[in-house]
Amino acid sequence: MIATVRIFALALMGLLLPLAAQAQPDTYYAGVVQHPTTHIPPVQVVARYELPRMSGGINDFSGIASTDGVNVLLLSDHGFVAAGRLVRGYGQRIEGFQLRQVANLLDENGRPLTGSLHDSEGIAIGRDGAIYVSFEQHNRVLRYARLGAPAESMGEHRDFDRMRAGRGMEALAIDRDGSIYAIPERPARATYGFPSYRWRASDGWTGSFRMPSDGAFLPVGADFGPDGRLYVLEREQTGRGFRSQVRRFSVRGRAIGPEDDVVMRSDYGQFGDLEGLSVFRDWSGRIRLLMVADDDQGRYGASEIVDVVLNR
């Protein structure tokens, strides 16, 4: 059985690599996202880059991780990670995507995750290069020393088993001190705001801050920016389409700052189902938001990367 899975994985990579090399996806350039009736400042959308169509469910991207805005890991909610490089041209705009590796997410015994076990949602890169992935069906976070390595268990908090299947561990971020924060899309029980959970090597998983809610927005992605603050991508879905926003917070251990700083909010239907967020500082010293949309196997249109520059 293991040999069969390995053969399938190799065959899948064989299909993906030529496809990525031959595809000629479109790049869209936009001006600014305006919010004349709110306190939210306009932001510059540097690029909307449509990712090449790939086989095997790879375009169901639910997470993105990057330390430099060029080398990226794209997480599929079907238990794969696609590693690649964003080709940037004039003005640092995205002009292409070079696929370098596709790897199955494995269990602790080195076998590919299957069924409801592979519903991966959040991804983060540690300072040592290790990769952390959160899962929302069987709620947990796994550590991978590198792509293709067996999973390492990180234990559980008692709330993990109480979370709703498919609405659990969604957003994942790593602070400068190595603390790992996980935020569920829905809380385990009816409480104020959204609880978070913090993992440290010294004491494992503990309850952490409560992020205040904002209307019908639900957290789907998170990352600590180069300024040390926590950025949280949130999504609202209505009959008018998806609407996304990013809020920024100061976090000190198990405490979250009182500020509610919305740094970006899209209009309904402006983007697709944005689920992943990576925050980095570009070559000009500006903080940028790199987001990826889940196409849900074509149900929500194309999978794209949205690159946004913050004005403050």
User: Does 88 have pLDDT greater than 90?
Assistant: yes
Q: What is the pLDDT of residue 235?
A: 94
Q: What is the pLDDT of residue 163?
A: 82
Mean model confidence pLDDT for the chain: 84
| Amino acid identity at 273 | D
Cβ(147)–Cβ(131) below 8 Å: yes
Cβ(261)–Cβ(206) below 8 Å: no
User: Does 60 have pLDDT greater than 70?
Assistant: yes
Return the exposure string of 164-203: e unless at least 16 CB atoms fall within 10 Å of the residue's CB, then b: eeebbbbbbbbbeeebbbbbbbbbbeeeeebbbbbbeeee
Q: Calculate mean pLDDT across residues 59-81.
A: 93
Residue 23 CA, chain-centre distance (Å), reads 24
Q: What is the pLDDT of residue 196?
A: 93
Q: Calculate mean pLDDT across residues 129-145.
A: 94
Pairing of strands 131-135, 152-153: unpaired
Q: CA-CA distance, 25 to 59, in Å (whole number)?
A: 13
Q: What is the pLDDT of residue 10?
A: 38
Q: What pLDDT digit, counting tens, does each position of 159-214 carry?
A: 888 887 667 789 999 999 999 999 998 776 667 789 999 999 999 999 999 999 99
Q: Calculate mean pLDDT across residues 271-281.
A: 95
Q: CA-CA distance, 229 to 184, in Å (whole number)?
A: 19
Q: Calculate mean pLDDT across residues 217-238.
A: 95
Q: Residue 138: pLDDT band by 50, 70, 90 thresholds?
A: confident
Q: What is the pLDDT of residue 240?
A: 82
Q: What is the pLDDT of residue 132?
A: 98
User: Does 69 have pLDDT greater than 60?
Assistant: yes
Return the exposure string of 217-230: e unless at least 16 CB atoms fall within 10 Å of the residue's CB, then b: bbbbbbbbbeeebb
Query: Taking Cα atoms as reference points, which of 81, 180, 200, 197 lies closest to residue 139?
Result: 197
Q: How many CB atoms lie within 10 A of CB 233?
A: 27
Q: What pLDDT digit, counting tens, does each position of 11-55 carry?
A: 444 434 433 433 333 333 344 454 444 567 678 888 899 988 776
Which residue intervals of the chain are DSSP H helices? 2-22
User: Does 275 have pLDDT greater than 80?
Assistant: yes
| Amino acid identity at 73 | L
Q: What is the pLDDT of residue 164?
A: 73
Q: What is the pLDDT of residue 45?
A: 87
Q: Calculate mean pLDDT across residues 94-107.
A: 94
Q: What is the pLDDT of residue 40?
A: 74
- Multiple choice CATH, 2-309, 2.10.25, 1.10.1760, 3.40.50, 2.120.10: 2.120.10
Three-class secondary structure assignment of 13-69: HHHHHHHHHHCCCCEECCCEECCCCCCCCCEEEEEEEECCCCCCCCCCEEEEEECCC
Q: Calculate mean pLDDT across residues 59-87.
A: 94
Which residue intervals of 241-312 are DSSP H helices? none
Q: What is the pLDDT of residue 57?
A: 58
Site of tokens 């869209």: 28
Q: Calculate mean pLDDT across residues 258-277.
A: 89
Cβ(71)–Cβ(121) below 8 Å: no
Domain boundaries defined on the chain: 2-309
Site of tokens 């004005």: 311
Q: What is the pLDDT of residue 56?
A: 65
